[in-house]
Amino acid sequence: MEPKRFDIDEELGCKVSNVKLSEKCRLKDEEKPVKDDESRAAQAKLDLEVEREWKQLQDAGVGKIEIADSTWAKKVCKGLTINHMNMRCADTGRLMWQSDAWGEDIYRVEQKARLPVDILKCSAVSREINFSSVEEISKFRLEQRVFLGGSCIEEWIFNFGYVIPGSTNTWQQTIESAGPENMLDPEVM
C-alpha cells in the first residue's frame, strides 16, 4: 500500500467507514484558523483529494506496495530499518504480540501479522516500534490501514516528526478501543 505524502503537520488523523474523525490541521502557534477564501479553497481541495483516496481504498482488491520514484525516497527506504515491534495491553502492560522479523522486503512484500484475539478485549493497545534510520527524515509518519474482505475499513495516521540521521529510535503509540458496542465480532474477522 503506497502512503500518500502530504506536507501537513497533523497530530493524528483517523477515518472509520465513511465518517471523517480527524480535526482540521492548524499551523503551530496559531490559535485561530485562517478564514480567507484562498485558504478555504485549498482546504476544500485537500479534503476532496483525501475523500477520493479513501473511496478508492474501500474498493475491494485495491492496494499495492511501492516506493516513490524520487531519489530521496529510495535513499530513505534503503537506510530505514525496523528492528522490532510489539503490542501490549495499555492498561496492564501485558505483552500481546511481538516481532523481530523485519527484513529488507518490507517495501516489496505485504507484512502480515497474526494478532491474538484477546487483543480485541483491551480498552487500549500500546504499540512500540524500534527503528533505525541512516538518513534524516523531517516529517516521518506511519499510515495504518485496516482491511476486511479486501476493503479498507479504517485508516490511522501517526506522526513521529523529525528523525536524526544515523539514529535508532523507539516510537510508542496508544490506540484506544471504540468500545465493545462498536467493535466487529472476532468471528467475522
pLDDT tens sequence across 6-39: 333 333 343 333 333 333 333 334 444 556 788 8
| Cβ neighbours for 159, distance < 8 A, ≥ 6 positions apart | 9, 10, 11, 12, 139, 140, 141
Tell me, which fold does domain 12-182 have in CATH?
Answer: Coagulation Factor XIII; Chain A, domain 1 (2.70.50)
Q: What's the rounded Cα separation, in Å, for the pair 3 and 64?
A: 10
Q: Which DSSP category does 123 fall into?
A: S
pLDDT in tens, 34-91: 567 888 888 888 778 777 776 766 565 556 677 778 899 889 989 999 999 999 999 9
Q: Which DSSP category does 93 fall into?
A: -
Q: What's the rounded Cα separation, in Å, for the pair 127 and 110?
A: 19
